[in-house]
Amino acid sequence: MDTNLSIFTPCPRQVGMKHMATDLLIVSPGFPESAEDDTCIPPLQEYLWALLAQRPNLRVAIIALQYPYTDVPYDWCGVKVFPCNGRNSRARRLFAQYRAWKHFDALNNEGAIGCVHGLWLGQAAALAERMSAKCGARNVVTLMGQDARDNTRWLKHVGMNTALVCLSARHADVLRTSSDRVPTSIIPWGSPPHMASMGPQERTTNMLFVGSQIPVKQPDVFEEVFRKVAEQRTVSAMMVGSDGVQVQPSQPGFLLKAEMAYGSSRLGKCGAMPRGNVHMEMLAAKLLVHTSAYESQGYVFDEALAAGMSIVSFPVGSAAASDRWRVVENSVEMTAAVIDLLDHTPGYIPITLHPMRDTLNAYLTLYGLD
């Protein structure tokens, strides 16, 4: 299997393009350090590629507070990125904030800033609010995950006129329940392109888990479902996720951490891998069995459907029942749904869950650029 294939395509803009004004300033905890850094906020990368392909003359700048671990500005696909080297360290929080303001002031002195877009309800959102107020720009804050539930204390730093964006109806419900704020818009990140041309279509893996090995993702539930399914038939399963082993893009393949035999069935486990490799695993798998107890959107759903997979999941994020997607309430129902889909596979036709054009149009309206 060729693990070097990727759905990513180069942005049409010229690297290093200089401009005197900024149409859009994005403030984020992190941003890819290069075009090869494909695991850093994938939906944002897909969005920016599509945005700049549709609006090649749009002038975009990024202030990245924590990652990458450098303070040297660089170009990403023609977008100027200003890293603040916060390194996810509480001790460096004020240092990162100071550098963010220095970069903002320099941009603001060059020319007008049209809109400031903060990602995550946290320090980035608070800075985006203050920066937009200082330069008189529009302000948009996108909640990205559990911040809608756990970080609502930061809402006191976000004005009532700021456009608050959630990623799904369930995500919006969490915000309403945990605070007194109602989101301005629900805008899912646009799905990646279909992956049908990326590699072979032989589906040798029955069940695939993709996600970090953290409690909210409930990897133990996946293992439980695997064992129950294996009691009734021979299945192959793979768990891909961050469990302390990071595969660098230069390494061939991935590291198989463990393999568990259950009768004639097999369960393989590996650490984190480049996103292109994950997509190849998706193209070789029949079902995404997603056991997470919480998702804001669940971009892995978009990726799985774009790879032609079917899905079994709990009712989280953008989960929606269909012939390709079984939404269940517990592990017993999940086991039954997995067996049924393996017995009655609805095919492997790629599906676009959230058209990118809808995401672009919705944000361009909020930016005042429609």
Please compute Rg for the chain using Cα positions: 21
Whether residues 240 and 330 share a domain: the answer is yes
On whether residue 130 sits in a domain, the answer given is yes
Within-domain flag for 4: no
122 and 221 co-located in one domain? no
- Determine contact, residues 67/44, Cβ cutoff 8 Å: no
Task: Tell me, yes or no, whether 360 and 319 share the same domain.
Answer: no
pLDDT higher than 70, residue 232: yes
Same domain, 330 and 359: no
Query: Which strands sit side by side in the sheet containing 185-186, from one edge to the other?
Result: 74-76, 79-83, 60-67, 22-30, 113-119, 138-142, 163-166, 185-186
Residue 262 is predicted with a pLDDT of 87
Distance CA 365, CA 211 (A): 33
Same-domain check for residues 31 and 176: yes
For residue range 168-181, list pLDDT tens digits in order.
999 999 999 999 89
Is 6 domain-assigned? no
Q: What is the Cα–Cα distance from 23 to 43, expressed in whole angstroms?
A: 21
Q: Is 343 helix (H, G, I), strand (E, B) or coil?
A: helix
Count of domains observed in the chain: 2
The yes-or-no verdict on residue 45 having pLDDT over 70 is yes
Query: And the tokens for 360?
Result: 């672009």
Cross-strand bridge partners of residue 83: 64
CATH number of the domain where residue 217 is located: 3.40.50.2000
Question: 199 pLDDT band (50/70/90 cuts)?
Answer: low
Does residue 75 surpass a pLDDT of 50?
A: yes
Predicted confidence at residue 241, as pLDDT, reads: 87
pTM metric for this prediction: 0.90
199 located within any domain:
no
Predicted local confidence at residue 259, as pLDDT: 80
Domain assignment present for residue 200? The answer is no
In this predicted structure, which of 271-275, 320-324, 354-358 has the lowest mean pLDDT? 271-275
Q: pLDDT tens digit string along 242-288?
A: 654 343 333 434 455 678 888 899 999 988 888 999 999 999 999 99
* 148 and 221 share one domain: no
Q: Is 117 a member of any domain?
A: yes
Residue 195 belongs to some domain of the structure: no
Q: Determine the pLDDT at residue 242.
A: 67
Q: Half-sphere exposure (CA, 13 Å, Cβ side) for 113?
A: 28
Q: What is the pLDDT of residue 257?
A: 61
Question: Quick one: 169 and 262 in the same domain?
Answer: no
Domain shared by 235 and 118, yes or no: no
Domain that holds residue 119: 22-190+355-367
Question: Which helix (DSSP H) or strand (DSSP E) does residue 96 occupy?
Answer: helix 93-110
What token pair was written down for 19? 């401009």
- Mean pLDDT (the chain) is 90
Cβ atoms of 270 and 258 within 8 Å: the answer is no
Residue at 235 is within a domain: yes
Concatenated DSSP letters for 35-68? TT-TTSSHHHHHHHHHHHHH-TT--EEEEEEEES
What is the mean pLDDT of the segment spanning 85-108?
95
Mean pLDDT across the stretch 343-349? 92
